Chains A and B, each alone.
Chain A
């Protein structure tokens, strides 16, 4: 795809007052993000304590099954982060608002962090249950490739210097990455896989005992709050950086 085939959007050199306002807005956003981030970390710690100390041990899998309460919420937030990266990337291509590109960048980076949790906790859980750290089956392999794709997205952004070119190309990669997310969700139904079927998002309703379901849902809430904290701070950093570059570029 060439840059000429994409819609034309402008990336004007910001006047001084605009870059000052952008810097101040970024700083204010990052400060708000600190509060959300602190709340998110505390919420995840609380859910971890609840899972370890108060949620029943699964009889067949033993305590290792409690990794589930970190693994699944991290997967949920990673997928949400990637979908938002793709949506805001598409909106950037449509509207040309650079703030959408900065949000897209922030969400991709946070998604990679959560994806790293999924890819490390998964094998630690798998070893005592499946007897192996890893299987090259559809769910695990596609999740690993999604991680690589978004690491590539961040590398692409780091390699390009022209802001408009960076925003356009990475938006396309982000949209392609987003398209993989529903496919990964369906891998456990489309392929023979060692990975368990969904225990909440399935047509017959949740299949977990109520105490486990409650801890899982609290985990999803806590990780979503943590995502909001991470992405708000990261977006603020992006806005401050961009305002400074615009100011120095005049």
Chain B
């Protein structure tokens, strides 16, 4: 009979949540910066 598998799903959820926050947070910030740069007056204006 094998040893019991550790019950630590909370750490897995925390790891994936932190990853989602960083990836989505940076993605949203970058898209906002790009859209703001597109809206800003072009050099010839």
Contacts and interface: CB of A to CB of B under 8 A. Distances in A.
A31 to B, nearest CB: 8
Interface stretch (A20-28, A157-165, A169-177, A184-192): A20-28
User: Looking at B16, B30, B31, which has the most chain A CB atoms within 10 Å of its CB?
Assistant: B30
Interface in A57-97: 57, 59-64, 66-67, 70-71, 74
B15 A125 contact: yes
Interface residues of B, number: 31
A33 B38 CA distance: 13
Provide the main secondary structure of the chain A interface.
helix
A41 B8 contact: no
B43 A64 contact: no
Contacts of B34: 30, 33-34, 233, 236-237, 240
B12 A64 contact: yes
A71 B16 CA distance: 10
B6 A246 contact: no
Contacts of B2: 59
Interface of B: 2-3, 5-9, 11-12, 14-16, 18-20, 22-24, 26-27, 30-31, 33-34, 37-38, 40-44
Interface of A: 16, 19-20, 22-23, 26-27, 30, 33-34, 37, 41, 44, 48, 52, 57, 59-64, 66-67, 70-71, 74, 113, 116-117, 120-121, 124-125, 127-128, 226, 230, 233-234, 236-237, 240-241, 243-244, 246-248
